[in-house]
Structure 1
């Protein structure tokens, strides 16, 4: 004669199964939940980002884009021989102490864009003589902003004697343009400094 299952024994049996399941024991006939696949973060495409930045630059400054179309975008290859320091002790010491002022290398396309922006700004400042150039930092900042260089991309400052200068990072594509309004007006393009940024580092090591 088969034993009869009472409601109380059924409750105890169900409770026992729950305890076994909670302790990690696999109940026959049940499948374990699959583990979620590991998340893979996409690798940033630096070439695509650079191309998109250049496209935005070209839309902002179409005349510069037209002047520099077709210029190579690769950095010129350097000689495998490391740069040698001067043999003269004083000159060697000077070179070592001013190594922090070293700049990076521009591609021909970036150099062209920088030179085109420098020429554009110098013309707006009145050429080498600076005829009609701004007389205050506020005026110089307003002139650069009016030419399409946003305030966040340029540092404009005046010396204690009132001489005006600016350091500009060309929007979207670089490079840098540094200008001094003390006659003769000087506006030149250059790469970022090895220590970072368009402003010349102050102090050596």
Structure 2
């Protein structure tokens, strides 16, 4: 028996189906391929709420020092405006030169609320040191550090120091809300509040020209 050769039309039809399948065309009676999953869009980082952070820090401060919080309740929290020359320097030549040479000592501006807290902490510490006369004040840096720690502050070892002549000093950043408080135990005892320096930190920068 002679084998029957398939008609040419059948061969062409089979070849066409193979080409259509390779190109992704859906052939009737066959399942469609699922579409590709969309790539996930990148998540955007939320913008930090600095006002909320400041309010939370102030609340923690008030919990640590309720007497200071009570004394400063209701004080404005906005930085007061101040008049200045266009470049912020004095017009007097000598004063201008001095300001330029000591610009590295420039401090920020405290709000009335921050100034009140700083002054209250300064008075609190000065009273613990025995007032201006310093009666019963610590005699060593270790004793001074222990006194400040016991009052709720967090001085690091470099923040409490003695000069070459043995005079004690300290620099503190008030926990949680600031500002800075600097003290010198050389009679008369001096304890003052101030803002951070423009160059950063509560310690007076060393430099200038």
TM-score, structure 1 length as denominator?
0.81
Could you tell me which runs of 5 or more consecutive residues in structure 2 were left unpaired when the two chains were aligned: none
Aligned-partner SS, 2:73:
coil
More deviation in 70-79 or 46-55?
Answer: 70-79
Q: How many residues in Structure 1 have an aligned counterpart in Structure 2?
A: 205
More deviation in 55-64 or 72-81?
Answer: 72-81
Could you tell me which runs of 5 or more consecutive residues in structure 1 were left unpaired when the two chains were aligned: none
Q: CA 1:14 to 1:96, structure 2 compared with 1: closer, same or farther past 3 Å? A: farther
Contact 2:155 2:172 in 1 (8 A): no
- Summarize deviations over 1:21-40 as a string: whole Å, max 9, x none: 99999999999991101211
Q: Aligned-pair distance for 1:79?
A: 3.0
Q: CA 1:88 to 1:48, structure 2 compared with 1: closer, same or farther past 3 Å? A: closer
Aligned-partner SS, 2:52:
helix
Match of 1:184 in 2: 188
Q: CA 1:70 to 1:25, structure 2 compared with 1: closer, same or farther past 3 Å? A: farther
2: CA distance, partners of 1:169 / 1:24 = 70
- Summarize deviations over 1:63-112 as a string: whole Å, max 9, x none: 00000000001111233743654455443322211011010000000000
Q: Which has the larger radius of gyration?
A: 2
- Summarize deviations over 1:158-198 as a string: whole Å, max 9, x none: 00000000000000000000000000000000000011100
TM-score, structure 2 length as denominator?
0.80
Structure 1's consecutive aligned runs of 4 or more residues displaced over 6 angstroms after TM superposition are 1-33
- 1:85 partnered with 2:89: yes
Match of 1:49 in 2: 53
More deviation in 93-102 or 164-173?
Answer: 93-102
2: CA distance, partners of 1:122 / 1:169 = 16
Q: CA 1:38 to 1:85, structure 2 compared with 1: closer, same or farther past 3 Å? A: closer
Aligned-partner SS, 1:179:
strand
2: CA distance, partners of 1:7 / 1:55 = 91
2: CA distance, partners of 1:150 / 1:111 = 20
Q: CA 1:27 to 1:37, structure 2 compared with 1: closer, same or farther past 3 Å? A: farther
Q: CA 1:88 to 1:112, structure 2 compared with 1: closer, same or farther past 3 Å? A: closer
Contact 1:154 1:168 in 2 (8 A): no
